[in-house]
Structure 1
């Protein structure tokens, strides 16, 4: 099915897009800082994506693509860095609304710091595997940076991250070939740990962590500037 990757995007964004205008979450009113955060984060990830695609760390099956390419990436891959953060930050905003009393405790700070250091350590001992090394290095370093700041929203972030793993496994499972004859996105196993959750490389969970954390960090920073400069 040539449009399968595109259909996954529609599935990903449909519910949060429809619910953006409901009066409780008021997600649509936050679109200006949201899309700025998505744009900045997306630029970083698209550059990374282009370099890894050229290096053969991963690639895309044309049988599931509409055939439009931008910066050597399929259109659907560019859309990934828009639809997935849009839906993921919506989950984060829902956590804020429905679980307002979550606190960012010292336990969250120190656990996050330990995880960040652990990811950096895993990266360093797997320096010959490009996806493992750079993914864990980037995720660990940024997580360590945010842990040192220990922002007020950090507890909400972790709840949102854990909740977003449910749709993540559903969508990314299809992307990596679960239930299909061949994956939509394939991985060179010489460049990762070859550990899978169903068909999903374990590295993808930390890729998702970095993607959401960067977007939330910038989103919260930009929301403050929008309030100060109406």
Structure 2
């Protein structure tokens, strides 16, 4: 049964959102194609990142929690992670954006983006010898700059607030993956490659990594949804 642990984590992450996608007041199922187009594009980049970090030993996976099927040395469950987590997040974003007015005013959002970029760059520079910290915070800073100042998106504040709402679920899922409630973690990290600051058992870098991934999923999802 332990071999199904990571697979079941993915399943329970997505199943409720998937079922409610067909609700007549939500009808998120109409946007499945837009979601999968966006998810595939973002997943491609993050899976390459994942493969590289796994090869370098930044993180590795505990075989007792896996089916044993691998793709370029990545467990198939890890590949599914890049679709299951974004699905639940985009579904939640879609619902909250549909039923509530969560848009930020221009100035507060701009200040938030600028401060976040400066903070992320500062962390990246200070911990430049920690590869997970460096790449995660640097790429997030670049992503926020591109999305706000080049691609002219005006929903980063709203997306950040929704990501905060999603944080309990994120902590539950990532907590189990990193060892909360288990005898040993599903995903292990090399302590030399990250700051060492954890929320429960979760490296703080994971929260930023997930934030960047969701921002790009939202951007591409909205782009493809408009074309439908």
TM range (shorter): over 0.9
Shift of 1:187: 0.5
| Aligned counterpart, 1:215 | 217
Alignment correspondent of 1:181: 183
Matches within 5 A, 1:131-150: 131-148=132-149, 149-150=151-152
1:44 corresponds to: 45
Alignment correspondent of 2:21: 20
Query: TM-score, structure 2 length as denominator?
Result: 0.95
Question: In structure 2, what is the equivalent of residue 30 of structure 1?
Answer: 31
Matched residue SS, 2:25 = coil
- Structure 2 CA distance for partners of 1:48 and 1:102, relative to 1, 3 Å: same
Q: In the comparison of the two structures, how many residue pairs are matched?
A: 226
Query: Partners in 2 of 1:51 and 1:105 — Cα distance?
Result: 38
Give the CA RMSD over aligned residues.
1.3
Output one character per residue of 1:65-116: Cα deviation in whole Å (capped at 9) or x when no partner.
0100011100000000010000110110111122135344321122112102
Unpaired stretches in structure 1, ≥5 consecutive residues: none
C-alpha separation between the residues in 2 aligned to 1:224 and 1:62?
42
- Determine if the alignment matches structure 1 residue 111 to structure 2 residue 112: yes
Q: Normalising by the residue count of structure 1, what TM-score does the alignment of the two structures yield?
A: 0.94
Deviations 1:182-230 (A, max 9, x none): 000000010000000000001011011101001001111112222xxxx
The 3 A distance-change label for structure 1 pair 3 and 180 is same
Please tell me whether the aligned partners of residues 195 and 202 of structure 1 are also in contact (alpha carbons under 8 angstroms).
yes
CA, structure 1 residues 209+159, in 2 after alignment: closer, same or farther (shift >3 Å)?
same
- Does the CA-based 8 Å contact 2:148-2:154 persist in structure 1? no
Kept after mapping to 1: 8 A contact 2:6/2:65: yes
| Superposed displacement of residue 127, structure 1 | 1.4
Is the Cα–Cα contact under 8 Å of residues 117 and 144 in structure 1 kept in the other structure? Answer: no
Q: State the shift of 1:147 in Å.
A: 2.6
Give the corresponding residue for 2:174: 172
CA–CA separation in structure 2 for the residues paired with 1:146 and 1:223: 17
User: Could you tell me which of 148, 153, 156 is aligned with 1:154?
Assistant: 156
Distance 2:134 2:25 in 1: 41
**1:2 aligned counterpart, secondary structure:** helix
Partner residue in 2 for 1:123: 124
Unpaired stretches in structure 2, ≥5 consecutive residues: none
